[in-house]
Structure 1
Amino acid sequence: MTFTLDKLVESIADVLKEHFPDTQVFVNQDQQESEAPKFSVLFTEGEMENRIGSRLMKKIGFDVVYTAEENSGNGSDLCPSVADKLDLLLTFIPYETGKLRTYNQKWKIVNGELHYEFTVKVTMSYSDDTPLIESLESYKGGVNQNGIK
């Protein structure tokens, strides 16, 4: 399986579309002109860490923004109940044949919009073309004790 950010964000959008069928879902777009109710799924941050062997961990931050109907009168009253539902729906995100765990879920209401933030951590493998040293005697490198050639 090849991991891509596009597939991950589409998986999040699919969960929202399935459980909120009457709400529009936009991915990484500023949809200020569109009608509410709506969700916008946005990337917030990304980080990569090296792991042992030929592996690395990607940490990807998301902000799922929910905008209620402005004229409904109770738009901000809906935000906590939507956040409560998102707590359950976004604990695991379906991705291809498996599920990805989310971390650091938190939500806040800013200017009548719900911001539901979380992080996804993915451990990936990559091919390493670096030739292995067969023996220390055959190594002809020029690294000294200070790590400088």
Structure 2
Amino acid sequence: MKYVLAELEKKKIAFVKLKRHEQLQQSKDQNEEKDQFGQTQPKKQWPYIFQQIRNLYKNTLILNEGITKEEGLDLLKNKQADFISFGLLTISNPDLPNRFKQGLELTKADHATFFTPGTKGYTDYPLLLHKSQDQAKTDYKFVSKCTAIIKW
């Protein structure tokens, strides 16, 4: 990884997006050394990858996957990332910034609906319940427009 990142930096690539691991295959017990397929847990292999990667790459760095709001803020504050993308959280929480801002519960993604036809699991997740009726209508219109564009 050190070699590849150094070469990308030399070529002035616009950004590198680093994904920690695929959580779909993660064991339910975070303390286990192996996942359900017998593979070593990614956090056990390189537990502080996001905190250490900045030493290997100085250009624009986007970090993704399994990042909590708190971890994302910490990574940004300590200049270990330029941007954070939340991936799955964005799918299951169409109003993620509002939920973060208001400290509300996050909806978990339904993995069984991934890579299936139709809108179930993509555009049917609920919006915040604790917002004004006007804001909920605006958000619904926006999500509906996005759905129409995707169907087109």
TM-score (norm 2): 0.25
RCO comparison, higher one (Cα < 8 Å, 6+)? 1
Larger helix percent: 2
TM-score of the aligned structures, taking structure 1 as reference length: 0.25
Greater strand content: 1
